[in-house]
Amino acid sequence: MTEQTAEATPFWLTENFAPVHEEVTATDLKVTGTIPSALSGRLLRNGANPQSGWSDHWFLGNGMLHGVEIRDGKANWYRNRYVKTPFFLKPDADVMESLGDMNMSTANTNVIHHAGKIMALEEGHWPFVVDDQLETVGPNNYAGKLTGPMTAHPKTCAATGEMLAFAYSMMEPYLTYYRISASGELLQVEPITVGAGTMIHDFNITRNNVVFMDLPALWNLEGIADSGLPIVWDESYGARLGVMPRNGSDKDVTWYEINPCYVFHPLNAYEDGNKIILDVCRMEDAMKPGSEAPPMLYRWVIDQDKGTVSETQLDDRVVDFPRVCDTVVGLKNRYGYAAAFAPNLPVAAGLIKYDLDSSSSSYHDLKGGQGSEAVFVKDPAGSSEDDGWVLSYVYRPETNQSDVVIVDSRHFDQEPVATIHLPVRVPAGFHGNWVPDGY
Ligand SMILES: [Fe+2]
């Protein structure tokens, strides 16, 4: 632990970014409004919650899961649990020295479900399986076939149920592609040739391809002094997108040069003939000392016939944590959802619904609340892509407690149809998902 003065306390240890230390189970949840009876499952979310009370960077705290189970129009429980990996169980372990041990995950970045497993993910280690009560089961190394790390942002193909993923590393192979069957078997481990080890937080899939983002945020231990992470910004590396057939190999990758930038999170990607459309939250840079380049929504169009990439800014608001309906991941989407940030802090003052076909959007004002990633849940009886609800954890500074809001996507700028009031606060965190019953 580093000795710090109060003045030096970084933002991720203050206000609602600060960790909570109690694992709570609450079953008597107050609800305002009417929870749609079609919602049957649980809204899970992960985030960094350092058990020591201190972490050197927002990304490095121990993973804590938060969940609310909803069924038959009722909110059955809220609970929060640390992901109890070996890293959690050795609180004095050094996060950097733990990079080579795939068990030593903070497991703090995302929580997904695939092939019957709920998994807490962090991009430097193995996934960790948890049960539907958020208790830790153990690592998933895919029957020994996963020997390196795996991204926290795998993509599950809406058409086939396959999960496509990757890993990046400071040592060769710098980039590795993974293809996992709908039944959870790791079918392909494919080293991909790139020029250096870069931080690749997320990637893109389409119906037939994956698209890697090789951007100039390079592994370098000297970066720790500036940003707290072993990453430096170096535009001389260039920036490129790599398109590979999903069942292809390293030799099949076509690289396209783009303007230097950084993208933590894409919204979605899909094919349109021989073009690939990618909508991304693009930043001018990342981990660059003195720069706080905000993410904004851009569209890249890769023209595979001409060998070009066009770049168009779609919105000038600061947005990130972009999401689409799970049934259009990798396929043509009309709608997208994102968190609209409050000034200078990665918390949402509102949520945005984009209609990308009509180049319009609607805004859900959280009215002083601090929102998190907007998770869309499709109405099983609905027909349109936006028939469903958007769920988000929202912190209320006036009560120091959090809610889960349920917003009707078709009436996005209106009051939530239901608000589930939690007896505790849910700290600002990273990513989550809806895990339906029968997942
Ligand atoms: Fe992320």
pLDDT tens figures, 185-233: 999 999 999 999 999 999 999 999 999 999 999 998 888 888 778 899 9
What mean pLDDT comes out for the span 15-29? 96
Q: Give the Å distance between the CA of 130 and the centre of ligand 1.
A: 19
Reading phi first (left if > 0) and then psi (alpha if -120 to 50, else beta), residue 15 is in: left
Query: Does 188 map to a domain?
Result: yes
**Cα of 109 from ligand 1 centre, angstroms:** 6
- Tell me what pLDDT residue 3 has: 44
C-alpha 339 – ligand 1 centre gap (Å): 13
User: 34 CA to middle of ligand 1, Å?
Assistant: 31
Give residue 286 CA to ligand 1 midpoint distance, Å: 14
Assess whether pLDDT exceeds 50 at residue 4: no
Mean pLDDT for the stretch of residues 306-316: 98
How close is the Cα of 322 to the center of ligand 1, in Å?
Answer: 10
Which amino acid, residue 139? P
Could you tell me if residue 21 is inside a domain?
yes
Contact 40, 91 (CB under 8 A): no
Q: According to the model, what pLDDT value does residue 351 have?
A: 98
CATH of the domain at 122: 2.130.10.10
What is the 153 CA–ligand 1 centroid distance (Å)? 7
Ligand 1 centroid to Cα of residue 353, in Å, is 19
Is 1 within a domain? no
How far is the C-alpha of 64 from the C-alpha of 20, rounded, in Å?
Answer: 9
351 assigned to some structural domain: yes
Q: Which of 266, 268, 284 is nearest to 320 (CA)?
A: 266
CA of 151 to the centre of ligand 1 (A): 9
How many domains is the chain partitioned into structurally?
1
Greater confidence (343 vs 260) lies with: 260
**Ligand 1 centre distance from Cα of residue 173 (Å):** 22
Query: Ligand 1 centroid vs 310 CA: distance in angstroms?
Result: 24
Confidence class of residue 345 from pLDDT cuts 50, 70 and 90? Answer: confident
What is the C-alpha to C-alpha distance for residues 81 and 84, in angstroms, rounded to an integer? 8
On whether residue 120 sits in a domain, the answer given is yes
User: How do residues 361-382 score in pLDDT, each as one tens digit?
Assistant: 999 999 999 999 999 999 999 9
More confident of the two residues 224 and 110: 110
Q: Mean of the pLDDT values across residues 328-344?
A: 93
Residue 89: predicted pLDDT:
94
- Print the domain residue range for 100: 6-436
Contact between residue 48 and residue 106 where contact means Cβ atoms under 8 Å apart: yes
Confirm if 118 and 107 have CB atoms less than 8 A apart.
no
State pLDDT tens for residues 384-437. 999 999 999 999 999 999 999 999 999 999 999 999 999 999 999 999 999 999
Residue 20 lies in a domain: yes
Euclidean distance between CA atoms 143 and 259, whole angstroms? 40
Distance 364 CA to ligand 1 centre (A): 22
What is the Å distance from ligand 1's center to 431 Cα?
Answer: 6
- Ligand 1 midpoint to CA 393 (Å): 16
Rounded distance from Cα 73 to ligand 1 centre (Å): 31
d(CA 267, CA 295): 12
Q: Residue by residue, what is the 3-state secondary structure of 289-345?
A: CCCCCCCEEEEEEEECCCCEEEEEECCCCCEEEEECCHHHCCCCCCEEEEEEECCCC
Mean pLDDT of the chain: 95
Quick: pLDDT tens for 281-308.
Answer: 999 999 888 888 999 999 999 999 999 9
From 106-110, 216-220, 221-225, 241-245, the region with the lowest mean pLDDT = 221-225
User: Is it the case that residue 7 has pLDDT exceeding 60?
Assistant: no
How far apart are the CA of 413 and the centre of ligand 1, in A?
26
In a domain, 339, yes or no: yes
**What separation in Å is there between the alpha carbon of 33 and the centre of ligand 1?**
31
Tens digits of per-residue pLDDT, 140-190?
A: 999 999 999 999 999 999 999 999 999 999 999 999 999 999 999 999 999
Give the pLDDT score at 2: 43
